[in-house]
Amino acid sequence: MLKRLKASFNIQLLLIAILCFIAFGNTFKHDFVLDDRSAILENLLVKKGIAGIPEIWQHSYMYGYSRQNDETYRPVPSTLFAITYSAFELNSTPYHLIQILIYTLLCVLVLFYLKRLLREYHPLYPFLITALFCVHPIHTEVVANIKSADEILALLFSIGALHLSLVALDKNKTTLIGLSIVSYFLAVCSKESAITLVVLFPLQFWFFRNYSIRKMALPAAALLLPLAVYFIIRGSLLESMTFVEGSSKLSVYNNSLLGANSISESIGTAFTVLGYYIKLLFLPTNLSYDYSFNAFPIVELHNLKSLISVGIYLLLGALALIGIIRKWGLAFGIILFLAVLSIYSNLFVKIASSGGERFLFAPLLGFLLFVVLGIDQIQKEKTIRWINQSSVSILSIGVIILFTSMTISRNSDWNNEGNLFLIDVEKVPESFRTNLFAANVYEQNAIYASNPTVKSNLYKSALEHLKTAYKIYPEYDETYIQMADIYKQQGDWAKMKKVCKAGLKHHEDNLDLTFMLGDAHMNLNEFSASRKNFLKLISSKDTSQRNSAMFNMGATYLNEQRFDSSIHWFERIKEYRPDDINISYYLAIAYFQVENSDKAVQLFSRIPNDHPTYAHSQSSIGTIYLLEEQYEKAIEHFNLALLVVPGDENILNNMVVAYQALGDFEKAEECIAMINSPNALPGLQ
């Protein structure tokens, strides 16, 4: 088998393609998850389809979602999403299929590139490196999460550019340099991490070819052109080139390192994360979609884990420097690994995350190059006798089989958000976000649960995770909001009030907590306290909150039977929501209580027959006419109410009075008989 692999490159290509589909084929039927929402589901530019492509190239990556034209510029993946949307709209299966196809294309291209790059090495090395890259479980986040097409495309076009520039010199085809420039431009327009790979263009010639510096200069220098064009375009289109100060993305709950109080803590924690990356490359277990606060606690530089990590990276750096001097191919792998990882390390610039498996997508290729070529170096120097081509090949095949199995298993966790969130919170229970998101899943499941016991248990689980999230990071306002909402669903207004007050101590200007506190007071019949909170929202720029606050102001006064004040607030909100049936209904009740019969009848008459308050509205109109001694009209409306609530005792009693007033004692007796019927329904209050 190994001999056939050596002899036939076509077999190698076929096996790589098959491996890709074996490893990731079970993601076809997965749903959209995580950032797919901002990149696709709720991205207005993407949802314009092909027609939105010109706008995509004129705005930031998330402009279609956030309407903020800053931070990142990645038009290539958004263009792919727009084209896919035009053909399939929001059917997730085609998106996942395309994701696997471009990933397969990447792996095939990696094999082509490595075959040419490593032509002086053992012919199986390119295949083994590519196969290990292809099935490594660390890639599940990228391949299973459609949004991460940006990672795949950035590396795909980068490898394409590297390969084209290599072929250009190997075959003296300078025209290919132009294609290399285009490919690299598409790479940096896919994701900014591709910028760091520019160092590889001259280095690939230095390590793996013996061309003169003059011959290497043109294709290497040419790649500065797409970088210049990219930065010019990005600078002219975007309002900000980086995360703006105060952005919610640059927060402690996203990135633990932003909570560091000293350089020692910042560097120490960063190296702890970098050390964890090394562990994941060798032992990719307990993978998680999230490593936010406090998955990596703040530690000093002298922390043991940090020091071990520093030692590893210093060793890699030293090997890279020595390798450059001695032209060791393994140094090329180290530089690829370190170059891309540097921008995610939080050492040079803080990013919107403590860490992430997707950050190892491109670095893994460099790491595998380093390992395989490092073993080759050991073989050549014969420093470890048991390491030979046969043992390396057998070990690699065993690892490929193991990693494929692990990848298939991990893919299933990404089936949908609910599944992913509940599984990963058990793996990283120290993370604020994993607990918050798990709580949200439990809460949503509780809302739709019909069994009271199941519903109660789901709410209990949600609250447990929210309390854990609170202990990890008590400053986050959404934790309080979500807890308050659960207590609202359970009707536990006292606990809802307590949570809202606790949240407002940290976030005194939070309008959601202010409104929810008012709601809790109102349901506890603490109407004066309730209004103090609602009044704070009357001038809110959020029209929905303002309108809800006005409505509740009217409701509190109605409950206190202060009908004139109630009318004042209901009339105010009616100006903003003139077609709101609920406002008409409660306003009608208030007018009825102040004996403005004409206004009450007018408003009650607006209630349609499919509205829950229709029966009471018709009954109220009937009562008004009864008091005005318009008995026939009263009976007409009472009958309309009985169509909805047949046998209602209050309505029937009023009809008895109306019929008796008209002298129709037979009809009055019929109503009395209906009241005494065992099938009569309870009356409206």
Would you state the pLDDT for residue 682?
40
Cβ atoms 20, 106 nearer than 8 A: no
Neighbours of 384 (CB within 10 A): 10
Task: Return d(Cα 50, Cα 89) in angstroms, integer.
Answer: 11
DSSP one-letter string for 586-605:
HHHHHHHHTT-HHHHHHHHT
Would you state the pLDDT for residue 683?
37
> What does the pLDDT look like over 347-381, one tens digit per residue?
988 888 889 999 999 999 999 999 999 888 877 76
Task: Return d(Cα 223, Cα 202) in angstroms, integer.
Answer: 10
- Identify the bridge partners of residue 240 per DSSP, sorted by sequence position: 70
Q: Tokens 């071990």 belong to which residue?
A: 308
Neighbours of 41 (CB within 10 A): 16
393 pLDDT above the threshold of 80: no
- Mean pLDDT score, 200-220: 86
Phi, psi of 395 (to 5 degrees): -60, -45
Task: Return d(Cα 253, Cα 273) in angstroms, integer.
Answer: 16
Residue 165's nearest CA partner among 104, 108, 224, 232 is: 224
> What does the pLDDT look like over 663-683, one tens digit per residue?
998 889 889 988 877 554 443
**Helix (DSSP H) and strand (DSSP E) numbers for the chain:** 34, 0
DSSP one-letter string for 428-451:
-TT-HHHHHHHHHHHHHHHHH--S
Neighbours of 329 (CB within 10 A): 22
Residue 186's nearest CA partner among 145, 139, 149 is: 149
514 pLDDT above the threshold of 50: yes
643 pLDDT above the threshold of 50: yes
Task: Return d(Cα 104, Cα 18) in angstroms, integer.
Answer: 9
Q: Quickly state the pLDDT bin for 684 (edges 50, 70, 90).
A: very low
Residue 345's nearest CA partner among 331, 335, 355 is: 355
Would you state the pLDDT for residue 84?
96
Neighbours of 209 (CB within 10 A): 16
Question: Is cis: bond before 294, omega within 30 of 0?
Answer: yes
Cβ atoms 519, 537 nearer than 8 A: no
Q: Quickly state the pLDDT bin for 116 (edges 50, 70, 90).
A: very high
Would you state the pLDDT for residue 23?
95
Task: Return d(Cα 75, Cα 472) in angstroms, integer.
Answer: 37
Would you state the pLDDT for residue 390?
66
Would you state the pLDDT for residue 546?
87
Q: How far is CA 622 from CA 241, 314, 572, 630, in A?
A: 67, 87, 27, 9
453 pLDDT above the threshold of 60: yes
Our CA dihedral for 548, 554, 558, 560, rounded to 10 degrees, sits at 100
Phi, psi of 4 (to 5 degrees): -65, -40
Cβ atoms 12, 111 nearer than 8 A: yes
Whole-prediction pTM value?
0.84
Would you state the pLDDT for residue 384?
54
179 pLDDT above the threshold of 50: yes
> What does the pLDDT look like over 78-115, one tens digit per residue?
999 999 999 999 999 999 999 999 999 999 999 999 99
Task: Return d(Cα 405, Cα 452) in angstroms, integer.
Answer: 40
124 pLDDT above the threshold of 60: yes
- What is Dmax (Cα atoms) for the chain? 118
Cβ atoms 125, 372 nearer than 8 A: yes
216 pLDDT above the threshold of 70: yes
Greatest mean pLDDT among 202-211, 218-227, 310-319 lies in 310-319
Would you state the pLDDT for residue 458?
94
Structure letter (DSSP) for residue 256: G
Task: Return d(Cα 199, Cα 187) in angstroms, integer.
Answer: 14
Cβ atoms 407, 139 nearer than 8 A: yes
Our CA dihedral for 323, 327, 329, 335, rounded to 10 degrees, sits at 50
Would you state the pLDDT for residue 375?
87
Would you state the pLDDT for residue 674?
86
Tell me which of 651 and 389 has the higher pLDDT: 651
Tell me which of 684 and 52 has the higher pLDDT: 52
Task: Return d(Cα 437, Cα 433) in angstroms, integer.
Answer: 6
Q: Tell me what the pLDDT averaged over the chain comes to.
A: 90
- Identify the bridge partners of residue 70 per DSSP, sorted by sequence position: 240
478 pLDDT above the threshold of 60: yes
Alpha helices in 507-580 (DSSP H): 511-523, 527-535, 543-559, 563-576
Phi-psi domain of 491 (left: phi exceeds 0; alpha: psi -120 through 50; beta: other): left
24 pLDDT above the threshold of 90: yes
Cβ atoms 243, 263 nearer than 8 A: no
- Percentage of the chain surpassing pLDDT 90? 67
Residue 254's nearest CA partner among 70, 411, 478 is: 478
Would you state the pLDDT for residue 580?
87
> What does the pLDDT look like over 524-553, one tens digit per residue?
999 999 999 999 988 877 788 888 899 999
DSSP one-letter string for 378-417:
HHHHTSSTT--HHHHHHHHHHHHHHHHHHHHHHHHHTTSH
167 pLDDT above the threshold of 80: yes
Which pair of structure tokens corresponds to residue 539?
């001038």
Task: Return d(Cα 240, Cα 256) in angstroms, integer.
Answer: 24
Alpha helices in 70-91 (DSSP H): 75-88
- Mean pLDDT score, 53-71: 89
> What does the pLDDT look like over 126-152, one tens digit per residue?
999 999 999 999 999 999 999 999 999
- Mean pLDDT score, 417-444: 94
User: How many CA atoms lie within 13 Å of 328's alpha carbon, on the beta-carbon side?
Assistant: 26
Q: Where are the domains of the chain?
A: 245-381
591 pLDDT above the threshold of 80: yes
3-state secondary structure of 240: strand
Q: Quickly state the pLDDT bin for 577 (edges 50, 70, 90).
A: confident
